[in-house]
Amino acid sequence: MGPVEGVRSEVISDRGITDAPMWAGAGRRPLDNDERVPNWRPETATDPDGPDAWRFRPLLDEDRDLALRLIEVYARAWVERTGYPESKIPDVSITARLTGGVLAALAVLHLAWGLGSAFPFRSRRELADAVVGSSRVPPPTACFAVAGALATGAALVTNAIPSGAPVRRASLFGMAAVFGARSALGFSGKTALVSPDGDSERFIHLDRRIYAPICLGLSLGSMLSTGRLCPQT
């Protein structure tokens, strides 16, 4: 087992991140004995030129996914306990917040449509013609399924769902691909390939002018949100 794998086994278990004493660093207030967070450089690692030299290199350089997972869970505790300014706490990017907000709003819309609302249109028939391109709104189960998928996407983009970096990155790339494909179909007027009933003139017009650009923005937002956050310097 290599050194990084060793520290991974120290701080990660099958149930997630476990507790171990944190090395607070020279010149910083050490943690109390009952304040326990993951261990990267223990007190026994004192020689930067000896066998523990790897512990004196940034964890981001050794195992990026592990470092970012620890940052997600323990950043605020580290900052509060060691006295660094709050600006050191990593945050969700503006792009991720905006993308997540749009996805959440769309999820609420689909939920409302599933419950029988026609908002923002005057009737369900008008809603169906403008949003689906047919004479009838899809059944509630379909609306709820789309709402659930969009809400899950919003949670992934804003990192509200705890997940490992590889899982989150793969999910966001998948979302980017789906929204990108939907955008391409909309701009080319070929959404009917995936939605056979979507052939009304109004729908095709709105698809090119509104829906396709929104999907393109969500695709780019999902792609940009794959970049994991690191402490600010």
Identify the domain containing residue 152 by its residue range.
94-224
Distance CA 96, CA 132 (A): 27
| Residue 194 is assigned to a structural domain of this protein | yes
Distance CA 202, CA 133 (A): 7
- Both 30 and 109 in one domain: the answer is no
| Residue 215 is assigned to a structural domain of this protein | yes
Decide which of 71, 88, 105 is a domain's last residue: 88
Highest mean pLDDT among 67-71, 177-181, 190-194: 177-181
Decide which of 88, 120, 155 is a domain's last residue: 88
The number of folded domains in the chain is: 2
Query: 208: which DSSP letter?
Result: I
- Both 56 and 110 in one domain: the answer is no
| Residue 205 is assigned to a structural domain of this protein | yes
Tokens representing residue 109 in the block: 């819309």
- Both 67 and 134 in one domain: the answer is no
Q: What percent of the chain has pLDDT over 70?
A: 62
The SS3 call for residue 133 is coil
- Both 128 and 201 in one domain: the answer is yes
| Residue 229 is assigned to a structural domain of this protein | no
The β-bridge partners of 17 are 12
Distance CA 202, CA 206 (A): 6
pLDDT in tens, 36-55: 555 566 666 676 777 777 76
Tokens representing residue 140 in the block: 């509630």
Are residues 30 and 24 in contact, defined by beta-carbon separation less than 8 angstroms? yes
- Both 99 and 205 in one domain: the answer is yes
| Residue 123 is assigned to a structural domain of this protein | yes
The β-bridge partners of 125 are none
pLDDT in tens, 103-112: 999 999 999 9
Are residues 133 and 197 in contact, defined by beta-carbon separation less than 8 angstroms? yes
| Residue 232 is assigned to a structural domain of this protein | no
Q: What percent of the chain has pLDDT over 90?
A: 38
- Both 127 and 220 in one domain: the answer is yes
- Both 113 and 162 in one domain: the answer is yes
Among the ranges given (16-20, 127-131, 180-184), the one the predictor scored with the smallest mean pLDDT: 16-20
Decide which of 54, 88, 122 is a domain's last residue: 88
| Residue 10 is assigned to a structural domain of this protein | yes
Q: Which residue has the tokens 């790339």?
A: 173
The number of beta carbons lying within 10 Å of the beta carbon of residue 11 is 21
- Both 124 and 219 in one domain: the answer is yes
| Residue 230 is assigned to a structural domain of this protein | no
- Both 211 and 102 in one domain: the answer is yes
pTM, entire model: 0.61
- Both 128 and 70 in one domain: the answer is no
Which residue in 182, 168, 175, 173 sits closest to 228, CA to CA? 168
- Both 58 and 100 in one domain: the answer is no
- Both 117 and 62 in one domain: the answer is no
